[in-house]
C-alpha cells in the first residue's frame, strides 16, 4: 500500500510538473492558473484511486470489456474531477472563474480533454504494473514450489539411506551376538555414531568432505568387524582439495558400501577398497575402487539413489559412472567444486 501511494504521488506530481512546464514554455505564467492546475490534478489523483477500486474487480473480464470499461470509466472520472475543480475554484473565488465567466462550458471541456487522456495513460500503466506484478508473483510462487518439491525429493531420498544401511548393520550385529558379544557391543557403538550423524535434524543435503570422510571411516571400522582382514581401506585426498568443500551427504558411504557388498564380499581373500579425491579443473573427482567384476546388480538401489540426488543437486553439472578397469571396478563421480571456507 505504501508503494502504491508513493507511485501515485510521484506520477501525478510528474504530470503536474510537465503541464506547468509546457505552460511556462508557451509564455503562460499565472499564479491563479497554477493553483487551478494543481487542484485539477489533485482531484484527478483522487479519481484515479476510484478507478483502481473498479479495476481490481475487472481482472477476469474479457479484454474488450475491460477496454470499453476503461474508456468509459476514465471519461466519467475525468468529468467528475473537472467538475470538482471548477466548483472549488468558485468557492475560493479564483480569478480564473471570473475571467471565464461567460464560457465555463469551454473551460470544462478544455480541462476534461486534458484529464481524460492522462487517466487513460494512468489506466494503461496500472494494468501493466499489476499484470507484471502478478506474473512476478506467479514465477516466485513456482520457484518456491519447485524448491520445496526438490527439497522434499531430497529428503525422501535421504530417508532411503537410513533403512538401507541400518538393516545391513542390524543383521550383522544379530549374527554376532551369540558368537562374540564384545564385538557386537562395539558394532552397536559404531552404529549409534552412524545413526547420530544420519539423523541430525538440522543437516542439509550436503556436508563437508571432512565430515563425510570421518563417517565413512566409522562405517568401514564397523564393516571390518565382520570382514576382519579381508577388508582393507585406503583414502587419498589431493592437497588442492579443501576439507571444507561440500559433497552430498552419505554419498561416499553409499559408494564404499556398494564396493564392499559387490566387491569384497564376493572375493574369498577380500581386497582393498580405495577412495581417491582430487581436483579436475573446476570440478571435484571422487573415485571408489574395489576388486571384482562389474555386473548389473552393482548399480542397484544405492547407485540409483546417488544418481537421483546428484540430478536434484547439480542438474546436468555432474557425472556418475561405473567401469571395469582390469580386475577392478571403479565408481567415478564428478561434481562442481566449491571451497565453502572461502565462500
pLDDT tens, position by position, 131-150: 888 877 777 766 765 665 55
CB atoms within 10 A of CB 112: 16
CA angle at 300 for the pair 209 and 311, rounded to the nearest 5°: 50
Distance CA 74, CA 127 (A): 13
CA angle at 334 for the pair 332 and 339, rounded to the nearest 5°: 130
Residues 6+ away with beta carbon under 8 Å from 252 = 212, 213, 215, 216, 275, 286, 288
Sign for the CA dihedral angle at 121, 123, 129, 135 comes to negative
> Spelled out in words, what is the top-level CATH class assigned to the domain 206-342?
alpha beta
| Mean pLDDT within 26-47 | 83
283 close to 334: Cβ distance less than 8 angstroms = yes
Percentage, residues of the chain above pLDDT 70: 86
303 close to 258: Cβ distance less than 8 angstroms = yes
**Where are the CATH 3.30.565.10 domain residues in the chain?**
206-342
289 close to 276: Cβ distance less than 8 angstroms = yes
Percentage, residues of the chain above pLDDT 90: 19
The per-residue pLDDT for range 253-309, each reduced to its tens digit, is 889 988 988 899 889 899 999 999 999 889 999 999 999 888 765 555 668 778 888
Distance CA 341, CA 245 (A): 8
The burial of 149, by beta-carbon neighbours within 10 Å (0-12 exposed, 13-18 middle, 19 or more buried), is given as: exposed
87 close to 79: Cβ distance less than 8 angstroms = no
Alpha carbon of 101 to those of 80, 90, 94, 330: distances in Å? 20, 10, 11, 98
User: Any idea how long the chain is?
Assistant: 343
pLDDT grade for 343, boundaries at 50, 70 and 90 = very low
Within the chain, how many helices (H) and strands (E) appear?
9, 7
Distance CA 153, CA 158 (A): 9
> What's the Rg (C-alpha) of the chain?
37
pLDDT grade for 342, boundaries at 50, 70 and 90 = very low
Q: Is the pLDDT of residue 333 over 90?
A: yes
**Can you read off the three cell numbers belonging to residue 168?**
545391513
Lowest mean pLDDT among 42-56, 90-104, 232-246: 90-104
Q: Is the pLDDT of residue 26 over 60?
A: yes
Q: Is the pLDDT of residue 54 over 60?
A: yes
Alpha carbon of 13 to those of 108, 145, 224: distances in Å? 22, 40, 79
**What's the mean pLDDT when you consider all of the chain?**
82
Residues 6+ away with beta carbon under 8 Å from 28 = none
What backbone phi and psi angles, to 5 degrees, belong to 94? Answer: -70, 135
Q: In whole angstroms, what separates CA 134 from the centre of its chain?
A: 18
Residue 262 CB-half CA count within 13 A: 26
The burial of 250, by beta-carbon neighbours within 10 Å (0-12 exposed, 13-18 middle, 19 or more buried), is given as: buried
Lowest mean pLDDT among 15-29, 68-82, 274-288, 305-319: 15-29
Amino acid at each position: 500500500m505504501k508503494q502504491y501511494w508513493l507511485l501515485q504521488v510521484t506520477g501525478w506530481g510528474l504530470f503536474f510538473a510537465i503541464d506547468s512546464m509546457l505552460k511556462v514554455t508557451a509564455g503562460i505564467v499565472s499564479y491563479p492558473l497554477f493553483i487551478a492546475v494543481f487542484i485539477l490534478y489533485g482531484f484527478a489523483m483522487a479519481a484515479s484511486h476510484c478507478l483502481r477500486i473498479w479495476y481490481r474487480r475487472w481482472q477476469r473480464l474479457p479484454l474488450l470489456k475491460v477496454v470499453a470499461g476503461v474508456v468509459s470509466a476514465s471519461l466519467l472520472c475525468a468529468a467528475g474531477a473537472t467538475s470538482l475543480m471548477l466548483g472549488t475554484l468558485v468557492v475560493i473565488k479564483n480569478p480564473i472563474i471570473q475571467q471565464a465567466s461567460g464560457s465555463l462550458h469551454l473551460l470544462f471541456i478544455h480541462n476534461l480533454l486534458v484529464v481524460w487522456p492522462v487517466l487513460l495513460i494512468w489506466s494503461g500503466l496500472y494494468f501493466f504494473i499489476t499484470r507484471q506484478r502478478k506474473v512476478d508473483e506467479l514465477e516466485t510462487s513456482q520457484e518456491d514450489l519447485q524448491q520445496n518439491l526438490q527439497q522434499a525429493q531430497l529428503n525422501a531420498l535421504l530417508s532411503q539411506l537410513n533403512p538401507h544401511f541400518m538393516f545391513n548393520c542390524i543383521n550383522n550385529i544379530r549374527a554376532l551376538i551369540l558368537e562374540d558379544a564384545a564385538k557386537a557391543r562395539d558394532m552397536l557403538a559404531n552404529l549409534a555414531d552412524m545413526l547420530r550423524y544420519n539423523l541430525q535434524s538440522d543437516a542439509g543435503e550436503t556436508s563437508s568432505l571432512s565430515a563425510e570422510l570421518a563417517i565413512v571411516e566409522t562405517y568401514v571400522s564397523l564393516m571390518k568387524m565382520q570382514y576382519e582382514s579381508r577388508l582393507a581401506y585406503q583414502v587419498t585426498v589431493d592437497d588442492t582439495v579443501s576439507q571444507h568443500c561440500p559433497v552430498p551427504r552419505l554419498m561416499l558411504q553409499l559408494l564404499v558400501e556398494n564396493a564392499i557388498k559387490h566387491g569384497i564380499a564376493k572375493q574369498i581373500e577380500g581386497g582393498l577398497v580405495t577412495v581417491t579425491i582430487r581436483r579436475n579443473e573446476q570440478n571435484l573427482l571422487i573415485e571408489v575402487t574395489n576388486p571384482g567384476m562389474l555386473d548389473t546388480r552393482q548399480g542397484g538401489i544405492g547407485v540409483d539413489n546417488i544418481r537421483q540426488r546428484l540430478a536434484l543437486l547439480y542438474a546436468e553439472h555432474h557425472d556418475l559412472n561405473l567401469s571395469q578397469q582390469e580386475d577392478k571396478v571403479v565408481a567415478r563421480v564428478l561434481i562442481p567444486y566449491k571451497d565453502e571456507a572461502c565462500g
